Structure 1
Amino acid sequence: MALLDPRSPDPGYLAFWREYHLCTLTTPRRDGTPHVVPVGVTYDPAAGLARVITGRGSAKAAHVRAAGPTGAPVAVCQVERGRWATLEGLATVSADPARIADAVGRYAERYGRVPAPNPERIVIEIALTRAMGNA
């Protein structure tokens, strides 16, 4: 396992995050147990952010909101055979239309499709504190 600077990943690590891979997002429930769900994730090392688009009423968004304004400690991970990569940080929820549009555009670029319009869409933004993996 290699620990990396999430704002300055090596080229192989960044390339792995640009490939099409479904990921998992782990958020803490109110009782402290982990809630793990499949998601699409985009990674923006220049901004120090990972982004997940979701519906306003999703459990993952509720878990992040419940942590308060300082954010919820979360992790996103992807794996393919022996390659894997995890990003960790503090997640917050944004309903700002510009931030959502940016996240949707990044999702479309990574996953090759524009998600259907959703007036309930929000973006979970993860301010990255750690990156690790074997990519």
Structure 2
Amino acid sequence: MSHDVFDPTPEYLAFWRERHVCTLTTPRPDGTPHVVPVGVTYDPEAGLARVISNRHSKKVRNVLTSPDGTARVAVCQMEGRRWATLEGRAVVRTDEASVADAVARYAERYGRTPSPNPDRVVLEITLDRAMGRA
């Protein structure tokens, strides 16, 4: 079932606000999918999803080594019969304000503030597709 990225149903948005481990799929340089567990925050007003990560991680390298420094990615979560996927183009943000904002959003959704990490960056995903059953 498709959803409006900017105006999801209340149930779909509520599902994205619950505490769930998610997956992030990024393309490796050879085009094969790299899937890893992550925490994700969804901001429908801005049409963005955010994943905090270490700048040296494979997922970050996959985005940075894409031809234009962006990559088509997907984030997904599921619980029982409920599932939700967000898709779009990811970029790596390194500026302090973007990182602090993403950490605050993560802390709100997951109920804990991550330990300080000077190598933390944000994968910021500009969304163009939302689907699922919540």
Q: TM-score, normalised by structure 2?
A: 0.98
User: 1:54 and 1:68 mapped to 2: Cα distance?
Assistant: 21
- In structure 2, give the amino acid aligned to 1:84: W
Aligned residues: 134
Provide Cα deviations, 1:24-57, integer angstroms capped at 9, x if missing partner: 0000000000000000000000010000000000
User: 1:68 and 1:33 mapped to 2: Cα distance?
Assistant: 15
SS in 1 for 2:11: helix
Provide Cα deviations, 1:82-101, integer angstroms capped at 9, x if missing partner: 00000000000010100000
Which residue of the partner structure matches residue 72 of structure 2?
73
Note the C-alpha offset of 1:69.
Answer: 3.9
SS in 1 for 2:105: helix
User: 2:93 and 2:101 mapped to 1: Cα distance?
Assistant: 12
User: 1:116 and 1:70 mapped to 2: Cα distance?
Assistant: 27
Which residue of the partner structure matches residue 58 of structure 2?
59
Q: TM-score, normalised by structure 1?
A: 0.97
Query: Does residue 1:32 correspond to 2:56, yes or no?
Result: no
Which residue of the partner structure matches residue 45 of structure 1?
44
User: 2:33 and 2:123 mapped to 1: Cα distance?
Assistant: 17
Note the C-alpha offset of 1:5.
Answer: 1.1
User: 1:118 and 1:9 mapped to 2: Cα distance?
Assistant: 33
Give the 3 Å change call, closer, same or farther, for CA 57–90 of structure 1 in structure 2. same
User: 2:90 and 2:124 mapped to 1: Cα distance?
Assistant: 5
Note the C-alpha offset of 1:60.
Answer: 0.2
* Kept in 2: contact 1:24–1:39 (CA 8 A): yes
SS in 2 for 1:98: helix
Which residue of the partner structure matches residue 14 of structure 2?
15
* Kept in 2: contact 1:70–1:90 (CA 8 A): no
Structure 1 portions without partners, runs of 5+: none
RMSD (Å) for aligned C-alpha atoms? 0.8
SS in 2 for 1:127: strand
Identity of matched residues, %:
66
Which residue of the partner structure matches residue 97 of structure 2?
98
- In structure 2, give the amino acid aligned to 1:45: P
Query: Does residue 1:128 correspond to 2:97, yes or no?
Result: no
